[in-house]
Every structure is written in C-alpha cells, then in structure tokens.
Amino acid sequence: MNSAPGQDSFPVIRAVERLLPPHYARQDQIIGSLRELWATRHYNIERLEELHRSVQVDGRFLALPIQQYPGLVTFQQRNDAWIQVATDLGEQVVRKALDRTGLTPQDVDHVFFVTVTGIATPSIDARLMNRLGMRPDMKRTPIFGLGCVAGAAGTARASDYLRAWKGQTALLISVELCSLTLQREDLSIPNIIASGLFGDGAACVVLQGGERAGAGPRIVATRSVLYPNTERIMGWDVVDTGFKVVLSAKVPQLAREFIRRDVDGFLSEHGLTRKDIKHWVAHTGGPKVLQAFEEALELAPDTLSLSWASLREVGNLSSASVLFVLGDMLESGKAQPGDWGVMMAMGPGFCAELVLLRW
C-alpha cells in the first residue's frame, strides 16, 4: 500500500469468540416438525424438503428446544424469549472473548451491539453492563436493522471509533436468534427457504486502538455500499405475530453483478488488486450467494472453504455469520505477518460492507 500511515493508526482485532445455544436439531428434524403443520394446509411437502435440502445446511442450533416453538404464537412470546436467551448468550460470549485477551469488563470503553431478530429497551448491551459489572461511563451503540451485513458493518463502525480513540478497547457483540422469528403459518417460498437456512448464534469481537499492543489483524480501511431502490430485496415486514421475512431471489444476482466492481474499486484506492488478497472472509448468505462471490471475484477453489463449512454446520446466523467465519480463520493459523484479507457481507438496504485487513 502506498504511503501507508503508521501501524498505530489502525485498530486491531484482538480476538473473536463464538457461541452456539445448547439445543441442536438436524435438518430432517426441522423438516419433520414443519411437515406436520404444512401438510394440514395441503402444501407440497416434497417441494418443502427440496427447498430445505438445497440450502446445504446439515442442522442448526436453536434458542429453545424444538418442541417449545409451536407454543410461541404472539410477537410478545417470541420477543420475551429472545430477550432472555440473547442476554444469556451475550453474557457468555463476552466473558469468553475477554478471557481470551486477558481483559476484564472494566477495561471496555465502548460496546457496539448488533441484531435484527429481536427488540429490547433497555437494549441488550445495557443489560449486559449490569450483569458483567462494566464501568458506568462505558459508551454503548446498539444497532438494529442491518441484518446479515451487520457483522462486517459493526466491525467497521467499531474501527471508526477506535481510529479517534487509539488507546481504547471496544467490543462488537452480535446475537441473532433467527429461529424465534419464523412465521409457521407463512407458506411463501421466502419463508420456507428461511426456515431451512437461518440458525441461532452469538459472537463477540474484541478490538483495540492502534496504540494498544496486541497481536491480530489490523483494520486498514472499510467501505459501505448502498444499492439504490433495492429496499424490498431483503428485510422484515412487521406483522402481528412478529417479523415476516422479505427475501428476494435476486440476492445472488445482485451479488454477482456488483461485488466485483465494489471490491476492485475499494482495493484500488489502497494500491491493491484481488491478487494481493490472501484471505477472504465471506458471509454465509447461502449456496447461491457464495457461488456468486466465487464467480464474480474469480476466486480459486477452496478459497471460501471456511464459509462453506460454516454454512453446512450451523446455517446462516445473520450478522454473526461472518464473525464465525472470521473466528475460524483466525484460529486456523493460516494468516502470516504481512498478509492482506477482505471481510465482506451483504444485507438489507440492499447493501454491502467491506473491511480491509492486514496481519
């Protein structure tokens, strides 16, 4: 990179921790539980199974035992469960992340909290301050509505803060309980696909300003891209029973059409090309989205192997997904000093977020 600033200008990712809820269901179990309901509506059960298997997810971890979901009828019931489980998972994943870095809750200066699967006021980050014994002067930034892109976007916004406060520590916390949003009575194709694709999980990223010593990739730059007039590509319709998914079949097409242009433009501003990037950390948007990334960016086989593995093992965890892949990549030990990496995700807006990393 030409005329690069000093390393102390760049925030560093110290650790990424991930946590899955304790309840696991194989894909065939989930299909079975939905089959009983949808068969009463004369739905094409063979088509249901075909759509579920096409997302290439073996099974998912769930916020609650699968037997409890039929009892969640109202938005309040779903959201009350979300608050309880989100707070519990959030506390556990933060403790794990801080333990990994040798830090304590008192060392944290700012928390960024992202989710799209539930709402709470006070927000979950405020509840975590009390549980964890954080300083009363700690800053909080809860972010709702970015969906799948929020893992990358939250990392970027935390890094923006740490560029100004180079001696401070920030956390990005993501908790997504997608299973609690499922509309069991909705027989639309988007909802059936979502019922097969999305899972539950939490992640916590520990970031520090460039003045703080510590190993880990540095965040050199970020880029946000909004695609005009694409509001109905992905998101929620808020209905009486909660969040009804909006999920267009055009998502892979948009990824294929725009991600190459956006990545190339982003890298060129830093004197780089795709050939300079050793590590690609991609959100597990689904098989067609990952294929679109591979084709548009002309990636070598197995470049996105960690993303494919995460999709297969736990499904799409919305904002937490790209953080799970980032954590897996850091633990793999593949990155060497001087390597470049790109973290990327797409989500409601419709939009993309790119993060340039250097080890």
Active centre residues (catalytic) = 148
E runs forming strands in 104-213: 110-115, 139-144, 169-177, 200-208
Which two tokens mark 227? 């695609």
C-alpha 35, offset from chain centre: 29
Q: Where is 223: in which H helix or E strand?
A: strand 218-226
CA 170 to each of CA 59, 107, 143, 156: distance values in angstroms, whole numbers, following the listed order? 33, 9, 15, 12
CA dihedral 285, 287, 290, 291 (to 10 degrees): -150
Pairing of strands 59-62, 234-239: unpaired
Beta strands in the chain, from DSSP E residues, in sequence order: 12-19, 23-26, 59-62, 110-115, 139-144, 169-177, 200-208, 218-226, 234-239, 242-247, 277-282, 340-347, 351-358
**How many whole angstroms separate alpha carbon 311 and alpha carbon 57?**
6
Q: Which two tokens stand for residue 29?
A: 């179990």
Q: Give the whole-angstrom CA distance, residue 149 versus residue 168.
A: 25
**C-beta of residue 126 within 8 angstroms of C-beta of residue 140:** yes
What is the enclosing helix (H) or strand (E) of 293? helix 287-297
Q: Which whole-number Å values give the CA distances from 86 to 63, 220, 262, 326, in the listed order?
A: 9, 31, 34, 21
The first and second tokens of residue 260, run together, are 């190459």
Nearest to 319 by CA among 278, 353, 296: 353
Report strand pairing: 59-62 vs 23-26. antiparallel
Tokens of 274: 């795709």
